[in-house]
């Protein structure tokens, strides 16, 4: 993805406030040299942030007529308004080693034996993973193929097919679960309603009827 940034000369709280009033977003680009103070069009940035690729892939930033490769590192949103307050990018090149969270894309779930044959529920335990790799190897997402998922089976990080040079950062967990299956709870049987049986007349009532007769 490509976006356009502009050089920002003024700094400080007051300058940032004026930028936001003009529908601009202050930001910074760091790494591989001197940090650059930038500003971006708010509406264009707001819509870009809604796209998955903007968060998890190498971006091309055009700044002062020059195109640089960068990664989105952080951004701040207003506490209750849909306004981007600030954004950070990191310069990268093909040899830059990075650690970045990437989303998981689950495919073939509806065709798996667990779902198609046994009617199981598939639980996506995690939806993103942090990986380490060279910037040139960064995938936009990782694919999790559930075509062979069976009842009672779980998929772990070790079951992922990763390209050479890509490593999942498990943060202390040796082989965390990515997907699990469960059998839906059976619906409770409706209570059987038994019609009340009419009580037989007592002997006393029978005697009264005989005396009247």
Q: Is residue 112 part of a domain?
A: yes
Asked if the structure places residue 202 within a domain, the reply is no
pLDDT at 18: 82
What single-letter DSSP state applies at residue 58? -
Task: Say which range, 102-116, 160-174, 192-206, has the weakest mean pLDDT.
Answer: 192-206
Whether 213 maps to a domain, the answer reads no
Q: Is the pLDDT of residue 172 over 60?
A: yes
Q: Is residue 190 part of a domain?
A: no
Q: Are residues 169 and 113 located together in one domain of the fold? A: yes
Contacts of 57 (CB under 8 A, 6+ apart): 1, 138, 140
Which has more pLDDT, 50 or 202?
A: 50
**188 assigned to some structural domain:** no
- State the CATH number of the domain containing residue 18: 2.40.240.10
Q: Does 183 or 205 have the greater pLDDT score?
A: 183
Neighbour-count burial for 65-85, b at 16+ CB within 10 Å, e otherwise: eeebbbbbeebeeeeeeeebe
Quick one: which H or E segment has residue 108?
Answer: none
Check whether residue 88 and residue 118 sit in a common domain.
no
Residue 194: pLDDT band by 50, 70, 90 thresholds? low
Triad 23, 25, 29: Cα angle to 5°: 155
Question: What's the mean per-residue pLDDT of the chain?
Answer: 86
Reduced to 3 states (helix: H, G, I; strand: E, B; else coil), residue 36 is strand
Q: How many domains does the chain have?
A: 2
In the structure, what pLDDT confidence band is assigned to residue 192 with cuts at 50, 70 and 90? Answer: low
Query: Which CATH number does the domain housing residue 151 bear?
Result: 2.170.120.20
Residues for the chain: how many in total? Answer: 213
CB-based contact 156:178 (threshold 8 Å): yes
pLDDT of amino acid 11: 73
Kindly state whether residues 128 and 80 are assigned to the same domain. no
Domain housing 141: 98-182
pLDDT at position 106 is: 96
Q: What's the pLDDT tens digit per position in 98-152?
A: 999 999 999 999 999 999 999 999 999 999 999 999 988 999 999 999 999 999 9
pLDDT of 22 strictly over 90? no
pLDDT at residue 189, rounded to an integer: 45
Q: pLDDT-derived band of residue 25, with 50, 70 and 90 as boundaries?
A: very high
- Asked whether residue 173 carries a pLDDT value surpassing 50, the answer given is yes
Per the CB < 8 A criterion, the answer to whether 112 and 149 are in contact is yes
Nearest to 62, CA basis, from 50, 82, 86, 44: 44
User: CA 137 to CA 160: how far, in whole Å?
Assistant: 16
Q: Is the pLDDT of residue 191 over 60?
A: no
Q: Considering the domain boundaries, does residue 133 fall inside one?
A: yes
Residue 179 pLDDT more than 70?
yes
pLDDT tens, residue by residue, 40-95: 999 999 999 999 999 989 999 998 889 999 999 999 998 989 999 999 999 998 88
Q: Are residues 76 and 108 in the same domain?
A: no
* Per-residue pLDDT at 200 exceeds 70: no
Residue 88 half-sphere exposure toward CB, CA atoms < 13 A: 8
DSSP state of 135: G
H or E segment to which residue 200 belongs: none
Mean pLDDT over residues 170-189, rounded?
A: 80
Residue 136 has a pLDDT of: 87
Shared domain for 102 and 171, answered yes or no, is: yes
Give me the DSSP letters along 136-171: GG--S-EEEE-TT--TT--EEGGGS---TT-EE--T
């Amino acid at each position: 993805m490509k976006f356009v940034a502009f050089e920002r000369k003024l700094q400080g709280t007051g300058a940032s406030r004026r930028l936001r009033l003009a529908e601009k977003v202050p930001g910074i680009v760091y790494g591989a040299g001197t940090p650059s103070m930038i500003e971006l069009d708010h509406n264009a940035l707001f819509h870009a942030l809604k796209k998955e690729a903007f968060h998890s892939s190498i971006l091309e930033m055009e700044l002062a007529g020059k195109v640089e490769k960068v990664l989105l590192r952080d951004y701040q949103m207003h506490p209750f308004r849909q306004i981007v307050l600030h954004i950070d990018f990191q310069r990268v090149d093909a040899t830059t080693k990075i650690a970045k969270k990437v989303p998981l894309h689950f495919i073939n779930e509806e065709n798996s034996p667990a779902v198609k044959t046994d009617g199981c529920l598939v639980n996506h335990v995690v939806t993103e993973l942090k990986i380490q790799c060279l910037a040139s190897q960064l995938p936009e997402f990782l694919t999790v193929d559930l075509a062979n998922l069976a009842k009672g089976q779980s998929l772990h990080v070790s079951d992922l097919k990763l390209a050479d040079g890509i490593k999942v950062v498990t943060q202390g967990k040796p082989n965390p679960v990515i997907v699990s299956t469960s059998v839906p709870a059976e619906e409770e049987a409706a209570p059987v309603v038994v019609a009340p049986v009419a009580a037989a007349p007592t002997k006393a009532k029978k005697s009264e009827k005989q005396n009247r007769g």
